[in-house]
Structure 1
């Protein structure tokens, strides 16, 4: 090989490597990259006491990549758990699927977030901030509206947090 061939080959390899690297990155959209999550209808019924409370919301995934809700944190409690209800029995789970082009509904009588041992008892009209943690997506901060104990959302009306 002469010097010109070596330079041409090196330039071609550099271009190939650059194209391959840019092809591996994703904008997080429908190209199979990171999931695109949004949260709506987030609320907490006013707790009866400081022992426990529930949180409900809809986590929507507008991408072709599934994700998992793996944890929740808040300053209101040091012990937040993800619960599912099966055969009318509530049980703690390590994670919940957020399907591609689908949603995870956390609602009364079904899957939900449980706050155990509250540091204070929020009242109707208060807001409680939680941080949702996912397997693939960056954490999402969500404000829960504290509602009357009998409140039950039928249709989510607002977007409380978005992850990119």
Structure 2
């Protein structure tokens, strides 16, 4: 509750155009990695505001580096900023754009959770607790919110 009050007290124009976008994270998970050095992470960032934002970086205490990669055909390449459009969503999914956890400090096991901090251009960072699923896990729907929903208004 204090976080909501603190955000409400932030400055901005009377029409709210300077307000940070209202972002939340849903459907976050990490398949149990098959190697000791790399893991992937998937999630959906939902923007319920009239202002776009960009995902610019991510960090995690279990990895030396966390980068955002795009899959194009059979090749992966590091992505730059990724836009979360106003009233839209950014989907990081298997076979598409995703998080790569590199230089793992330990290999996460199924049933654990991994913490990842997402940083944006306008919005305060959002820390997501990402459950580790089986290596073969595939979500049935990207619309489920479950227990991995986090909103920047709670932080």
Greater alpha carbon shift after TM alignment, 152-161 vs 93-102 = 152-161
Contiguous gaps of at least 5 residues in structure 2: 1-10
Alignment map for 1:124-139 (pairs within 5 Å): 124-139=110-125
2:151 paired residue number: 162
Offset, 1:32: 6.3
1:106-126 deviation digits (Å, cap 9, x = unpaired): 000000000011000111100
Verify: 1:121 aligned to 2:107, yes or no: yes
CA contact (8 A) 1:26 1:34 kept: no
Q: 1:26 to 1:52 in 2, by over 3 A?
A: farther
Verify: 1:96 aligned to 2:70, yes or no: no
Offset, 1:25: 5.0
Offset, 1:43: 0.3
Ranked by relative contact order (alpha carbons within 8 Å, sequence separation 6 or more), the top structure is: 2
TM-score, normalised via structure 2 length: 0.84
Number of residues of Structure 1 aligned to a counterpart in Structure 2: 140
TM-score, normalised via structure 1 length: 0.79
1:84 paired residue number: 70
Offset, 1:26: 6.2
CA distance in 1, matches of 2:140, 2:14: 38
> Secondary structure of 2:104's match?
coil
Contiguous gaps of at least 5 residues in structure 1: 1-21
Q: Which runs of 4+ in 1 moved over 6 A?
A: none
1:61-86 deviation digits (Å, cap 9, x = unpaired): 00010000000001001211011122
Q: 1:23 to 1:140 in 2, by over 3 A?
A: closer
CA distance in 2, matches of 1:87, 1:135: 29
Offset, 1:90: 1.2
